């Protein structure tokens, strides 16, 4: 017995995301049967006592098939996005780290997963694009391909294949726990819908395919509108509120989602989009409203919307040698020559003053931030350079006369150079 596997969409070494469950076991065996060289990666989440036995089972199975297995241990960090999303984020980060530049990651998502995804996104209010469900092939944020060859196969087909080939797998208790939304949809919602509409699963699957087919046209239009409303800057690409409000409401919603997704975040749901348009955007001019969306925050400042990523200060550093000092996650200082005295990296605490080059009076850092339009949440994150406790440079804002020659601050975001 064989499964109707499509041809690989791109060249590259095959790497199977192997959990040890039935679906990924069927995928692993079906791909192994083609004779194509492959290897597997198992992500050890450590979320339950049986996690070690899952990894052991995967090792035994891969050994029997002659497939190399890479077991990756991860720590699932709760970031406000929910346990399922947090585990998925950790899993894909581990899988990405296990891949080479030319590797093709292959996952065991099937037709029922497609239906569950569509329902979950429909309930979340993720918009029309969300109803496209899971793509057969996509490019990950790291630029590598992710292929799902079982996406047109239903669970009954996978079960029949597993029985025919006498496959063995492990059952994750989480897959039967109705506290998780996907399990609730699988155990409660879909059976209830199917009892009244027997073909509902196929109908939903066809709907997802139709939405995906029309996605390129919608995305091109959304991108054009988004570019009209965007303004790149040193604190990220902002969304200009006056231009956003000039659009019809439905386009405002789509632009918001497209703008957020373009910066690497999952598009906000309907409730979050409504809160942005009804509460954040129309807030008073001197207000600084904020809205938590997943692990990040949407903020408004001076008629612009910004995506504020969570941040923690890097370790203390002293710049003694070389022409550059890197500040992880933010950017780097660059000068024409190495400092003539040690310079300490610091961040604002309040009350700092600096004598900018060409001026005769010291300036309060708070005033300089206001003058340069630095958003309030960005101010505590602005790198400073100190010489024996005296402020000699503020990233993107000011440098003192005795700062290193041709000192520049270079943002990571877009490599914009400021002095």
In this prediction, residues 343-360 reach a mean pLDDT of 89
Q: Walk across the sheet containing 13-17 and list its strands.
A: 68-73, 38-44, 13-17, 103-106, 145-147, 137-139
Domain boundary among 168, 196, 224: 196
Residues 77 and 153 in one domain: yes
Whether residues 162 and 279 share a domain: the answer is no
Length of the chain: 419
| pLDDT value for 78 | 62
Indicate if 345 and 289 belong to the same structural domain.
no
Grouping H, G, I as helix, E, B as strand and the rest as coil, residue 379 is: helix
Distances (CA, A) of 207 to 189, 215, 274, 337, 390: 18, 12, 25, 61, 64
Position 367 scores a pLDDT of 92
Greatest mean pLDDT among 19-23, 91-95, 216-220, 329-333: 19-23
Work out the average pLDDT over 324-328. Answer: 89
What is the pLDDT averaged over residues 313-325? 89
Measured between alpha carbons, how far is residue 102 from residues 12, 34, 92, 96, 147 in Å?
Answer: 5, 20, 17, 12, 13
Percent of the chain with pLDDT over 70: 95
Q: Looking at the structure, do residues 274 and 353 belong to the same domain, yes or no?
A: no
User: What 8-state DSSP symbol labels residue 132?
Assistant: G
Say if residue 251 is in the same domain as residue 370: no
In a domain, 276, yes or no: yes
What is the C-alpha to C-alpha distance for residues 293 and 46, in angstroms, rounded to an integer? 27
Least confident piece of the model among 76-85, 175-184, 346-355, 410-419: 410-419
| One domain, residues 49 and 146 | yes
pLDDT tier, 264 (very low <50, low <70, confident <90, very high otherwise): confident
Higher pLDDT residue, 108 or 270? 108
Instruction: Please report, for residues 89, 236, 354, 373, the alpha-carbon distance to residue 366 in angstroms, rounded to integers and kept in the order given.
Output: 38, 21, 11, 11
Domain count, the chain: 3
Residue 44's Cβ-count burial label (10 Å; 0-12, 13-18, 19+) is middle
Q: Please check the confidence at residue 138 and state whether its pLDDT lies above 70.
A: yes
Weakest-pLDDT range from 40-49, 83-92, 154-163, 199-208? 83-92
362 is a domain residue: yes
Is 207 inside a domain boundary? no
What band does 51 get if pLDDT is binned at 50, 70 and 90? confident
> Does 4 map to a domain?
no
413 pLDDT exceeds 70? no
Look at residue 418 and tell me whether its pLDDT is greater than 70: no
Instruction: Work out the mean pLDDT of the chain and round it to a whole number.
Output: 88
Give the residue numbers spanning the domain of 283: 216-308
Q: What is the CATH number of the domain that holds 301?
A: 1.20.59.20
Backbone angles phi, psi at 69, to 5 degrees: -120, 135
The answer to whether the predicted template modeling score (pTM) of the entire model surpasses 0.75 is: no
Residue 6 lies in a domain: no
């Amino acid at each position: 017995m064989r499964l109707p596997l499509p041809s690989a969409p791109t060249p590259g070494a095959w790497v199977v995301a192997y959990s040890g469950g039935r679906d990924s076991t069927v995928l692993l065996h079906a791909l192994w049967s083609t004779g194509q060289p492959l290897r597997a990666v198992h992500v050890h989440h450590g979320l339950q006592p049986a996690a070690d036995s899952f990894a052991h089972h995967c090792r035994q199975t891969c050994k029997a098939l002659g497939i190399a297995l890479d077991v990756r241990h991860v720590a699932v960090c709760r970031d406000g996005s929910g346990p399922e999303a947090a585990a998925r984020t950790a899993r894909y980060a581990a899988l990405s780290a296990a891949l080479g530049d030319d590797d093709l990651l292959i996952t065991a998502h099937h037709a029922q997963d497609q239906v569950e995804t569509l329902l979950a996104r429909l309930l979340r209010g993720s918009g029309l694009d969300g109803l496209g469900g899971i793509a057969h092939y996509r490019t990950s944020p790291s630029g590598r391909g992710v292929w799902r060859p079982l996406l047109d196969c239903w669970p009954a087909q996978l079960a029949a294949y597993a029985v025919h080939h006498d496959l063995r797998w492990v059952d994750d208790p989480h897959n039967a726990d109705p506290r998780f939304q996907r399990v609730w949809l699988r155990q409660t919602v879909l059976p209830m819908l199917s009892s009244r509409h027997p073909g509902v699963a196929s109908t939903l699957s066809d709907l997802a395919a139709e939405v995906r087919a029309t996605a390129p046209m919608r995305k091109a239009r959304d991108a054009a509108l988004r570019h009209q409303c965007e303004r790149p800057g040193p604190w990220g690409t902002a969304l200009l509120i006056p231009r956003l409000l000039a659009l019809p409401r439905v386009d405002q919603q789509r632009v918001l989602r497209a703008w957020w997704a373009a910066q690497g975040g999952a598009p906000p749901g309907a409730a979050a989009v409504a809160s942005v348009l009804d509460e954040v955007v129309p807030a008073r001019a001197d207000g600084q409203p904020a809205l938590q969306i997943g692990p990040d925050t949407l903020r408004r400042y001076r008629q612009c919307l910004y995506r504020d990523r969570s941040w923690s200060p890097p370790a203390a550093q002293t710049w003694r040698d070389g022409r550059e000092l890197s500040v992880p996650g933010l950017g780097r200082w660059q000068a024409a020559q190495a400092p003539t005295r040690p310079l300490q990296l610091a961040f604002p605490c309040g009350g700092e003053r600096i004598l900018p080059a060409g001026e005769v009076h010291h300036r309060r850092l708070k005033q300089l931030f206001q003058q340069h339009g630095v958003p309030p949440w960005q101010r505590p994150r602005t790198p400073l350079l100190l010489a024996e406790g005296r402020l000699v440079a503020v990233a993107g804002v000011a440098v003192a006369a005795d700062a290193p020659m041709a000192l520049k601050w270079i943002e990571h975001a877009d490599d914009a150079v400021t002095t």
